[in-house]
Structures are given as C-alpha cells and as structure tokens.
Amino acid sequence: MVQPVPETINFPAEEEQILKIWKELDCFQQCLKQSKNKPRYTFYDGPPFATGLPHYGHILAGTIKDIVTRFAHQSGFSVERRFGWDCHGLPVEYEIDKTLGIKGPEDVAKMGIAEYNRHCRSIVMRYSGEWETAITRLGRWIDFENDYKTLYPSFMESVWWVFKQLYDKGLVYRGVKVMPFSTACNTPLSNFEANQNYKDVQDPSVIVTFPLEEDENISLVAWTTTPWTLPSNLAVCVSPEYQYVKIKELSSGNIYIIMEARLVALFKSDTEYNILERFKGIALKGKKYKPLFDYFLKCKETGAFSVLVDNYVKEEEGTGVVHQAPYFGADDFRVCVDYGIIQKDSSPVCPVDASGCFTAEVKDFAGQYVKDADKNIIKYLKDKGRLVHCSTFNHNYPFCWRSDTPLIYKAVPSWFVRVEHMVDKLLENNDKCYWVPEFVREKRFGNWLKDARDWAISRNRYWGTPIPLWVSEDFEEVVCVGSVAELEDLSGIKIEDLHRESVDHITIPSHGGKGVLRRVSEVFDCWFESGSMPYAQVHYPFENRREFEDSFPADFIAEGIDQTRGWFYTLLVLSTALFGKPPFRNVIVNGLVLASDGQKMSKRKKNYPDPMNVVNSYGADALRLYLINSPVVRAENLRFKEDGVRDVLKDVFLPWYNAYRFLIQNVQKLQKEEGIQFLYNENTVEDSHNIMDKWILSFTQSLIQFFKAEMEAYRLYTVVPRLVKFVDMLTNWYVRMNRKRLKGENGTEDCERALETLFAVLFYMCRLMAPFTPFITELMYQNLRHLIDPSSVENKDTCSIHYLMLPQVRESIIDRRIETAVAQMQSVIELGRVIRDRKTLPVKYPLKEVVVIQKDSEALKEIRSLEKYILEELNVRQLTLSTDKDKYGIRLKAEPDHMVLGKRLKGAFKSVAAAIKGLQSVQLEEFQKSGSIIVEGHELHEEDLRLMYAFDASTAGSAQYEAHSDFQALVLLDVTPDQSMVDEGVAREVINRIQKLRKKAHLVPSDEITIYYSSQPTGEYLDNVIKNHTDFILGTVKSSLKLYPVPNSAEMIIQEKTQLKGSNLDLTLVKGTSDVGALPLGLNCAYVNVKVSVDGKKQDGVILLENPRGDNIVNLIKLKNVIISIFRLQTSKLAIFHEKKELTNETDLMILSGKTVYVTAGTAPVEAIIQSDNLLCKYVNLQLVNAKPQECLKGTVGAILLENPAGGTGLTYPGLLHETAKVFGLRSKKLRLCLDDAKAEGITNDSSLKLLNTKTIYVHVLPRTAES
C-alpha cells in the first residue's frame, strides 16, 4: 500500500535505510544473477592502493564507473564488476620505512627481506574496511568478495607470463637510464610518478668558467642550479644555430664566451663589457677545455672535456653554454652517447649512491648528501677561481610523491621494455579507442605516445613481483621464467609464493657451464602490474582462457587525466606488445578535483572537507550529482565547494521530492474523497487531450531518446545537465501549471489523466536517473511501485528500481510541434517575469496586457494555443500578438560600460562612447546575433555594451509598456497601475498568507479546515478588499472563510497575527468545515457572472460552475445549455467571451470563477468590458449538517441563487426547499432549513427570502416520523 510522504526529508538518513534494503535483498548479487545469460559487457577497474583512504578523485572516478556499468546493466548486459587492489610498490614500503625507521638498503639487509615483506603484507589492506564502507555508502555497486589483488600468486604468475612474452619477442633489455630518483626511497621513479609532486623551491644558481685549452685566458661560462653535478662534468654543449660572442668584462679584464641573447644572465648593462667577436655556436664544436675537477680525467680518452653542439640548447635561460653530466641528465646522456664520450654499456660516471651521497670517487665531498654538498662545492670553485657568479633561483622542481623529498636525476641500471620501435602501432591502436573527451586521445595522450621512450620496468625494491630473470654473474646467460610450473621444473623446488623471500634463494643450473643462475634482485614497477591487470585478474592464460579472449578488449574503463601517463599508457603498451590491439574500446577521462582555492587537496593543509562528512551532511546522491554535473567530467579541473553539494539538494532533489510528494498526496486524496484506487498501467492508460500532459510526455520521450544516444556515446557531460533541466521542467513548469488539475479542481476524470501523466513521468525519471542517483530513485520507487497495476508486470522481480531495464523510447508520443510551442510559451513567460522583477511588480498583482512580437507567424500561433497558461503565469488580463514592432515604436539603444571600456580604451573612450550611443537599432540587432561590432575602429563585444529597449515618444500608446527580449521574441508588458488590479493583488497577498499558514501547520490538501479572520481597523482598505474579493479568495483556498470571533468550541490548529497594507490581519485555522457562530463570506461554489446580448435583448445573471462544491462540474456545452434555459433564448448558436476572447472546449472554466463572461450570437461583444466582477444575483449558501448527499453526489456545501436572471422573479419557500433537496440529491427526504446549526432559528413559509441574501442555510434531514 502506498505510504504518505512526509513534508521534510533527511536525505542521508533515508539513504542509510535504502542501504539496508539493498543488503536485505542482496540487490547487487541479484542483478548479477538476473543478467547472467545476457550479452557480456566488460569493465576493468583500475586498482587503488589500500594504504590510504579514498579521496574525491577516487569518488569521482568510482561514480563515473558506477554510472556507466549500471547503465550497461539496465540496457540489457551482464556486467561483472570486480574491485581491484594495488598491493605492491613504494606506497606500502614507504609506510613501513617510516614506521620502522629504515633509512636505506643496509637496514633492510640487517632485518632480512622476509621480515621486511612480512611487515609490508601486514599493512597492505590496512584501510580496506574503510574503502569498502565508503564505496558502499556512496552507492557504488562493485564486488569486493570476488576482488583481485596484485599480491595474489595467481596474479603474479600472469605478470610473469606477460614479461616472458615480451622477453621472447626481444623487447626486454638491460641498460642504464637517467631517471627521476628518490634518495629517500632508494629507488628510481617513473616519469609519471615524478610529475605528481612539483613544488616551487629556491636553489643555488652558479655560473662557472671552462677555460679553453688553446688559450686559458678565454673561458666558456656555463650556468647550473645543481652545483652537485659539476664534479661529474664531462662536456659542455652549445646551440649550433644561435649567435655567440667573445666579450671582455671591463671590471676584471676577463674574457668570456656566452650566447649573445643571454648576456643579461651576467651583466645588468651593456656598458659593463665590450664585444670582441661574434660567431655561430657551431664554430665552438670540438674545442677542448680545462676540467673543473680531476676525478674522471681518464674519460678524456673518449673525447670528454670538449664542446658539443645540440639543438636542445635554447635562449630562454642560462648562458647558452650547458654543462654536461651525462649520468645526471637525460639530454646530457643522449648528447654524450651521440658523441661517443660514453657508451650505453660503459661503466657509468655516477659517483652518487642510492641514498644520494657522494661515493669515494669524489674524494673532496665523499659521504656528503648531494644537496648538502652544494655549498661546499661552490666554496671549492670560488677558491679555485672558477666561480663567476653565485645567487639563488626560484623554480618548479619535482619532489618524491611519497617521501616529499627533492628528487635527483640519476642514471641507474634498469630493465627496460622496448617501446620506441612501436610508437606507430601504439598511435594506430590509440586511434581505435573511443575517448571522452575526444581531445585527450588526440592531444594529451597522443602527444605522449609520439614521444614514448623505452619503459624502465624495474625497481630496486623488495615488496613487489620479482622480475623472473635468472642470470649468470657476467649476465651472459639469462633464463626468463614465465610460470610457477616452469620454475619448479628448472629448479626442482616446489613453489608456494612468488615474493622475493620465496624465490630469491632459488637457483637454476647453468647450461653454459657458468655454475648456477641466480635471480636478478629487482622487482617490477607496480605500473607493470597494473598494466597487466586485464590478464592477471583472471589468471590468464593459466585459467579462463576462452572467457578472457571472448571479452578482450574491455568495453569500458575510466580514470583521471593523470593516468594518460600512467595506467592508460601501461595498458596500451602491454596489449600492443602482446596482442597488437588496444586493451579497451571506450574510456572516460575525468579532470582533477582541487580544493576550493584551486590548490591540490592536502591533508596537511586541511583545505577540503572530509568526503564522508559531506556524505553524512547532504547524502551520497548529492555529492555524486555535484561531481558529475561539473567540468571535471570533461577532463577539466573542478574547484570543490561544499556549497555546490548543498545546492544540488536545494535546486534538484527538493523540487523533485516535492513533485513526488505532491503526486502521492493527490493520489491519496482521490482515494479518500472519490473512492477511486489509482493504479497505473502503461499499456491501458487513456490518452490525455490536455496540451501540457502531451508536452511533458513528449518531452520525457525526447529525453529518453537523447539519454540513450548520449550515454551510448559515454558523454555524461551532456546527459546530466539535461536530466537536471528535466527536473526543472517537471517541477517548475508542469506541476506548477497543473496544480489545480492534479488536485481534482477540474473534475475527477481530468484529475486522473493529470495524475497518470505525473506518475508516468516520475516513473520514467526514476529509471533514467537510477544510475546517477541510486538512492533517491530507489526511495521513490519503493513507494511508487505500489501504484503500478500488478497485471502490467510480466512475472519480473520488481523489488528494486535497479532490477528494471531502461524504458524504451515511444516515438509515437514525441510531438516536436508541442515541444516547440511550450518552449515559445516558456520564453514569453520568462521574459515577462524579468520585466516584473525589473519593475518590482510581484506576480500577485494582475496587469492589463502582455504583447508578444515575433516575426515568425507560426510561432505566434503556437503561443496563442497556450494563451491561458501565459495569462495565468504572468497574471495578465489580455495577450496581444504581433509581427510588427514598429507599430509599438520600439527600438534598441546602447550604453557603453564605462568601467570596462574606460580602462581599455583610455583616451579613445570619449569618442567611442558617443558613437555607441548613436548606434542605430538595425546595427544593434545585428550585434545581438553576432556578439561583436566595430565602433570607431575598435571591436566591441557583449561585455562592453548594455542594450536597452526604448520607445519613440511619437508613437501613441507606447508609454505604458516595458520591454524585454531573448533575440527571438520581444515581450511588452503594460505596467500602468489599475486600482481594481491592485486590489486583486492585495487579495492574492491574503491568499498567500493563508497558504503559508497552512504549510506552517503541516496541513495537506485533504485536511478540512475553516479560516477565521479579522482585519482592523474595520472598514479600512484591507477589510474592504477581503469583503469585495471573498469569492476570489474562497475559489483558491477551498475552505470556509469567516469573520472573527472564533467559537469557543472550535479546535484551533494555528493562529498568526501579521501586518498588511497598514492593517492588522489576524488569521486562525480551525479543524472542520461547519463551525457555528460566524457568518460565511462569499458564494460557496465556483460561478461566473453572465451578461447576455442576444436577439436584441440584454440580460444579466449568474451560472454556478459546480453545485454542490466539487460536484456537477460544468463544461462549455453544459454552460451554453444552462444559459439557453435560464435566459429562455431562441437560438442555440451562442458564443461566450471573457475579455474579448472566445471560450473553447479547451478553456478551463474553473479559473474564470468570480469573473464575468459575455454571451452573444457569435460576434465579439461590442459593449465596454466592465472590470467589476461583483456577484450579479442574490444567493444563499447551503451547509448539509446531519446526513450525506445522495444520488452519487459527495459535496456537503452548496448554494442556491435567489433570483436568476438578475432582477427576475425571486425564489419562494417551496422552491427553496425543492432546489435544496435537488442540490444534495435528497428529493425523497424531509428537510428543515435553519439559520443556525442548533435549529433554533428555522426558515418557514412566512420568512422573507430577500433578507436571506448572502446568508448560510443549515440543512437538516428529518426522520420519517418527525414533523417538518
């Protein structure tokens, strides 16, 4: 049974309840079971480390993955979703090093690798519980039980297999490479890791001399910010193309060679030197110089200590002479190899150990940490007369992402995978992948691939997958092992685990007479493991061979943009090398989530809110939608703001929830008041003829069509804004404009159509939004499903919204014409609202006319078809349409933005400003379209001008209008005050106070109440407005309105005193509808005044649009028949007008209650429209006291006109009795009519009925035996 929906909601608390439902039903596993035999959709989850807690980057990527995989499931696929854990590598080791105080390899050696790795293993899953809790709380469905971990022997064995394939293809070699090196962690890092943590630092900046051997009085001068690399200098490099100069420093007489463009690095003024000679850098090639130090003089034999040339030397910084320490710089290494100074396999000149300290080769600084040695090296050079200049230099420098210590660049022996030879194949495979956004594939990732270098895959560490190479001492005999079975066969030892402590001691007999082969000490870079993840997670090729090959490449992966040099890259390199094809078909790349100040989120700085605190405050759905509806899904960065999450609640979820609540309220009201049980059956639901129903249903189907197309293209960044916009369309347009229909004020049948429409749209919406906001959609569905006709459910498990497939597009319902028409209407209404806001005219206050000017006559027809909504939303009396704006004397004029243009144009501003003011309307209309205009030779844009509409004073009747445009339609609003309209506005203010009081008391529409009021002083403006607009107020609040005092017996709900228009307004709401002791105000039923002008006769009267209230609702046909009968007209061809607009079958008569209509034989009324809507006939109200109405009637409140037509023969007492019995269907009953509920003052045949005008008659049904 459908449950009432509370007025307020705590989203996080409701989400916790939904989690319980999912757990009880085991929903995720049920989904997997239900889809088991469906087509497979393959998803790879990139493994995070469990040594830290999840942050917003994880939450964002996880949300994207969850949305896409949920969508795939709801599109009819079977989607296995396994969580993965990255268990090896530096993050784990760094934590252990910190905990155990380990400084270097010696400490590990003392402890033993087995013990060290035992500690590592113990913390690997330190935060796994917190990860599972957080990810589950965020609504992500992923399998933690059937996970994969990179430390599983099965995973590690597959990594060995991958490596052996590469080795057998000749793609593995041992070499040295200059790499980012962490001296704190004693290991090289990948370039990706090195790029993760740049900081602004201040380093020493020195310029030193390199005297030429041919003339030691002439010195090359080189600049460096790493003085510690100077002891390893083997060459200097210049640009072959740039101009160099030989200069004489006037203050010292020293002669230097420097790039001419870089003289500023040494001198502040050109008066400090004389230029002796100019020449291209190529002229310096091969010249020998005197070394700075004598540590590596033996290298002179291979050409060291000479001038080299290369185009990497630029003119942006330094002196144009770059010192070369080939084992501490990648370019240095490349250039020195090219010139034969060093060989790739030669013994490296690298006198720095793994902890960053100088070795004994550098005898003057041995044992010193390189950064600490800088100052000592500078002093040494100064003492030797080789230092020209010393200062400091601020620049961006890489730090170790784990230890937060400066990296150095250092050549290390490493195992490499050859990548450079397959760049073209990598680019070809990349082109086969579909990237979202597209630019990442072409630009960021494509550019990275073009410059791809051989990949150093080894790490000199302990906790990782050991590289399976067994080698002789001279490295000439190498055996690569590709499986556990192979190692067991080669060694004769049973293998239980593959970590270093389990395999390092294993030897393999040499086949070349070299004794035994021992395993190399290195382990794999953890990026090699994560790149092997597609194969290793299923233990390929040892198990699941067919399943893997049938589902490779993956259909989908997603990670952050930083993974273009990480996981995306390693996946592609390995799959290309192994299989020659890409590893995935589709990939979504997200940007980075930054702190609100644009800085990187930092635990130390505490510059971001804890994710779980945000979830506990606003809910996971709000956080999910905030992240997904942001630039970060387009691979741009997001500055995270907690207010943005709160705004999702306020702007999206609460309106959506209120629409759902409004539906349930009125479904229950329909059942309570009409006894109709609402059940929705999509197959048998009747078509609605209401244009707004047709619009929202068409709009919904168009959304489904768009949603499916864009989701299949993985463009979440286009889908989510449309879904959010749809919430606005549903709540702020459809529900708002159909409240009366949904509440049943236009009759039961129309109410059912409106409720069916709203239910259908909410149900569609829940299914579409389920992948994005899994909690709120489940919350609504768990209640909405009780309103679904069981006969429409085809034996499916429908216990969760997430079991349901996405709705199919019903193209027959899509009506682009209606969608366009409503869009035109919305545009007009929004433009009108802007004008009202600009003139501070609240919508409560009616205005005379809105004029819409639009060149497209078809658009005007569409606007006319929705006229009643425009009139109602803008609260205007009349809509006028035109294609001619000149008729109203409208023109555009422009004013310059003084602040913007004044600052930019300076002296030219005055003449440009004058020209702007003189621009013609035609020019400005063109500017509106193009967004730019040339004025006095200056190109101006939208931010430079302010456009306004002006009216020609010569055009009569235009002064009362205010204008606004959206460049398609121009809207004019008549803003001249009119007292009757001002009065109605005040009456609407009273209604507003009453409705707010109802809300404050938490009342629902079905609650029966009576409203008592007092306006003091009596007889003042507010009091008169209420009395004159009583019928209008009653027609809206749908409750009795009575004057004070409140009877003592009344049960008060709420009371409030307020001020309005200089009067004191007291309002009290009490329970029930038939309280005694106060006079009712206004006619109980909806009515229209009627002015008939037919057959040359004019007559006035009143037609009740309902009687009793809520029953016998009159439509246009019935209205005409009643008019013919009452006014005894001879013709049946009638036309009925309200304010010169003819009523049609589509007209909602109830909104005309209290208004005056004009009846003619077909032509528009020629008489002046009278603004007063005072009741034209005398009347009495009826209140049925002690019985229920019969003859299928339900209302207990009604009315009888004492005369009709106005001034005609009045009703007699027998006639009053007869009409009263007819109103309530009590024609077989005896009635007693009284002026009070206690029967003290009865009405008899002798009573003067004229004196009963506006009074309430209490109707008592007498027992059969009683005397009347």
Q: Using alpha carbons only, give the angle 1218, 1224, 1228 rounded to the nearest 5 degrees.
A: 60
Q: Is 173 helix (H, G, I), strand (E, B) or coil?
A: strand
Could you give the 3-state DSSP secondary structure of residue 685? coil
Helix, coil or strand: residue 1092: strand
Of residues 324, 368, 563, 1183, which has the active-site annotation? 563
CA distance 196 to 95: 18
Annotated catalytic, 656?
Answer: no
Supply 1166's token pair.
């020629």
3-class DSSP state of 71: helix
Q: Which of 45, 66, 86, 621 is catalytic?
A: 86
Q: Is the dihedral of CA 315, 321, 326, 327 positive or negative?
A: negative
d(CA 1206, CA 1204): 5
- H-run or E-run covering 145: strand 143-149
CA torsion, points 652, 653, 654, 655, in degrees to nearest 10?
A: 50
Local structure of residue 186 (DSSP, 8 states): T
d(CA 860, CA 179): 70
776-778-784 Cα angle (round to 5): 105
Rounded to 10 deg, the angle between the 1030-1037 and 979-1000 helix axes is 30
Reply yes or no on whether 288 is catalytic: no
Query: Between β-strands 1087-1094 and 1097-1104, what pairing exists: parallel, antiparallel or unpaired?
Result: antiparallel
CA distance 411 to 405: 19
Count of Cβ atoms closer than 10 Å to residue 668 Cβ: 18
Helices (H) and strands (E) in the chain, counts: 41, 49
Cα–Cα distance, 745 to 673 (Å, whole number): 12
Rounded distance between C-alpha atoms, residue 676 and residue 668, angstroms: 9
- DSSP code per residue over 743-755: TTTT-HHHHHHHH
3-state secondary structure of 604: coil
Is 629 exposed, middle or buried, given 0-12, 13-18 or 19+ CB atoms closer than 10 A? buried
Give CA angle at 198 (197, 201), nearest 5°. Answer: 135
Say whether 567 is catalytic. yes
Three-state secondary-structure class, residue 1043: strand
* Tokens, residue 153: 């022997």
CB 63, CB 437: distance < 8 Å: no
The one-letter amino acid at 508:
I
In order, the DSSP letters of 887-917 are GGTEEEEEEE-HHHHHHHHGGGHHHHHHHHH
Compute the chain's Rg from CA coordinates: 43
Q: Coil, helix or strand for 531? A: helix
Q: Which of 401, 527, 695, 733 is catalytic?
A: 527
Catalytic residue among 47, 180, 398, 468: 47
* Residues 167/170/171/174 CA torsion (nearest 10 deg): 80
* Residue 86 annotated as catalytic: yes
What single DSSP character describes residue 1123? H
User: Could you confirm whether 383 is annotated as catalytic?
Assistant: no
Catalytic residue among 169, 603, 839, 1057: 603
Residues 6+ apart with CB under 8 A from 1242: 1232, 1233, 1234, 1235
Given the residues 285, 288, 382, 600, the one annotated as active site: 600
| Single-letter amino acid code for the residue at 1163 | T
Residue 202 pairs with which residues in a beta bridge? 394
Q: Is 463 noted as a catalytic residue in this protein?
A: no
Active site residue 1141: no
User: Which is the catalytic residue, given 567, 656, 695, 733?
Assistant: 567
CA distance 918 to 895: 9
The tokens describing 1217, both together, are 């009795």
CB atoms within 10 A of CB 273: 20
- Cβ atoms of 243 and 278 within 8 Å: the answer is yes
Catalytic residues: 47, 86, 527, 563, 567, 600, 603
